[in-house]
């Protein structure tokens, strides 16, 4: 059994604050800031300022560690917070009104520049953005994982085109999205030509309507969609992002997710051996509260996903069933929403020839992470070596082309998230009460060992 670590955070809904995110106390233990965030939102009287004052308060309370790199980002977000205090977006007038304004030299007030925060995994990009979201002085704001946002965008484009076949869907969609004055995206990345072509126009439409964007990414803007098909058509989107958002790097060199490894809970089994299957059976029974397992089928959006074994919010599938089949991000998001615990068995070592499977595995981890689901997994290798980034013949040369580079890059984020998802704190803060109670009991026993006579 391989023990690994972490903390927590959930995919934010449109109406609520993004979820609990994890931070590090001075002791090195990862702790959830759930209560701090709830207090921040639930009690307006507590809000005495923007992200800078809240960051200082949370550091003083011992909830955050004072990180100079994070504080520099918070100062940039504080500037944006102050500009938003007096900002109301107004779309540029069109038609006769627009012509009159241009003739008179009148221009709508420009929107404050947003922020594009990029850097290595686990350094606190999402933490700082969530702090800004919590204090942003408007109710018209939305925080969402970028992958989920693009799924929603494509679905709404299809609906608009079905309702109005002759109309241009993108301006209408942008008008709907601009109902939120501030959009916060987590994990901005572009790997698909369909996303790239939509974003090229959508970002222009949003900025024209005065929307302020704050986003995190593991890549600098100039590296987005690197080597992608028809990338030259996407370059204008990059230019707009750099014009409308201040680009700041957060590279403290510290992956806070990995700092908590000593506090891990045993949920990953690697390498698998004769003891693995009985251990998985026992964990499934514990996680499901002893309820009997039966097949279940998820039906959604005209699609279906078969779960061979399911019980009381727990799903068990093999890697071959979940990642070797042509499943999409929508499938994994549904799985993560319907089941609070997913047991994934028989994860092999993946090579370059398996990059489609690797891509699905990364998407699955993202969906489970954003839903704050518990992942139990058996693997042929420890998580750091699941994806080799090499060809089967052992060729260790750099990956060829855009696709391979993206998989290697994205897998680093997946590893950081897997580390975080293995901690006892993640499980304690999770949606499975049986596993949470068990983790609390183990933590108590570890902290209070029986006295030896």
Residue 104, C-beta contacts closer than 8 angstroms, at least 6 positions apart: none
Burial readout 192-213 (b: 16 or more C-beta within 10 A, e: otherwise): eeebbebbbbbbbbbbbbbbbb
Q: Are 418 and 4 in contact (CB under 8 A)?
A: yes
**Pairing mode, strands 265-269 and 374-379:** parallel
To 10 degrees, what angle do helices 355-370 and 401-420 make?
40
Alpha helix ranges (H) inside 85-168: 95-103, 125-135, 146-163
CA 352 and chain centroid, separation: 25
What's the rounded Cα separation, in Å, for the pair 236 and 183? 20
CA angle 317, 323, 325 (to 5 degrees): 100
Residue 262 has what pLDDT? Answer: 40
Residue 114 has what pLDDT? Answer: 96
Look at 222 and 26; give whichever has higher pLDDT.
222
Which residue is associated with the tokens 């494509």?
Answer: 154
Q: Does 300 score more than 70 pLDDT?
A: yes
pLDDT of 11-50, one tens digit each? 333 333 332 223 222 222 233 333 334 334 444 434 458 9
Cα distances from 36 to residues 13, 39, 64, 256, 303, in angstroms, run 18, 5, 10, 18, 39
Look at the pTM and tell me if it is higher than 0.75.
no
Residue 118 DSSP SS3: strand
Cα distances from 339 to residues 43, 420, 428, in angstroms, run 32, 19, 16
pLDDT of 391-450, one tens digit each? 655 444 444 444 556 677 778 888 888 988 988 889 988 899 999 988 888 777 777 776
End-to-end CA distance of the chain: 31
Percent of the chain with pLDDT over 90: 49
Q: Does 3 score more than 50 pLDDT?
A: no
Mean of the pLDDT values across residues 161-167? 91
Mean of the pLDDT values across residues 66-79? 90
Counts for the chain of helices (H) and strands (E), in that order: 16, 14
């Amino acid at each position: 059994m391989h023990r690994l670590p972490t903390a927590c955070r959930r995919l934010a809904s449109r109406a609520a604050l993004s979820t609990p995110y994890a931070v590090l106390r001075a002791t090195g233990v990862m702790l959830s800031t759930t209560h701090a965030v709830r207090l921040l939102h639930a009690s307006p009287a507590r809000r005495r300022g923007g992200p800078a004052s809240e960051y200082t308060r949370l550091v003083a309370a011992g909830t955050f560690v004072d990180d100079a790199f994070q504080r520099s980002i918070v100062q940039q977000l504080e500037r944006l917070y102050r500009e938003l205090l007096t900002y109301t977006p107004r779309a540029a007038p069109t038609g006769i009104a627009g012509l009159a304004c241009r003739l008179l030299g009148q221009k709508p007030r420009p929107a404050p520049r947003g922020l594009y925060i990029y850097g290595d995994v686990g350094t606190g990009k999402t933490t700082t953005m969530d702090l800004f979201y919590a204090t942003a002085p408007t109710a018209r704001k939305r925080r969402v994982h970028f992958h989920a946002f693009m799924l929603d965008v494509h679905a709404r484009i299809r609906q608009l085109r079905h309702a109005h076949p002759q109309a241009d869907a993108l301006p209408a969609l942008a008008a709907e999205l601009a109902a939120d004055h501030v959009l916060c995206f987590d994990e901005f990345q572009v790997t698909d030509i369909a996303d790239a072509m939509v974003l090229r126009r959508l970002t222009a439409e949003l900025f024209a309507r005065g929307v302020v964007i704050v986003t995190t990414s593991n890549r600098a803007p100039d590296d987005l969609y690197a080597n992608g098909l028809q990338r030259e058509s996407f370059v204008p989107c990059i230019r707009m992002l750099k014009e409308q958002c201040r680009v700041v790097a957060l590279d403290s060199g510290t992956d806070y997710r990995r700092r908590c490894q000593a506090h891990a809970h045993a949920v990953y089994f690697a390498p698998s051996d004769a003891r693995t299957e009985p251990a998985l059976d026992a964990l499934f029974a514990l996680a499901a509260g002893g309820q009997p397992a039966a097949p279940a089928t998820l039906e959604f959006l005209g699609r279906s996903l078969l779960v061979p074994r399911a019980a009381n919010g727990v799903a068990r599938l093999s890697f071959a069933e979940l990642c070797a089949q042509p499943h999409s991000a929508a499938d994994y998001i549904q799985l993560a929403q319907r089941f609070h615990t997913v047991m994934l068995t028989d994860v092999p070592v993946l090579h370059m020839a398996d990059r489609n499977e690797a891509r699905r595995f990364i998407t699955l981890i993202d969906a489970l992470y954003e839903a704050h689901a518990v992942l139990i997994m058996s693997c042929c290798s420890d998580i750091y070596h699941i994806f080799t980034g090499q060809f089967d013949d052992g060729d260790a040369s750099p990956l060829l082309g855009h696709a391979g580079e993206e998989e290697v890059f994205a897998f680093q984020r997946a590893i950081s998230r897997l580390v975080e998802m293995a901690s006892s704190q993640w499980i304690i803060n999770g949606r499975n009460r049986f596993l949470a109670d068990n983790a609390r009991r183990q933590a108590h026993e570890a902290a209070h060992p029986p006295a030896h006579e």
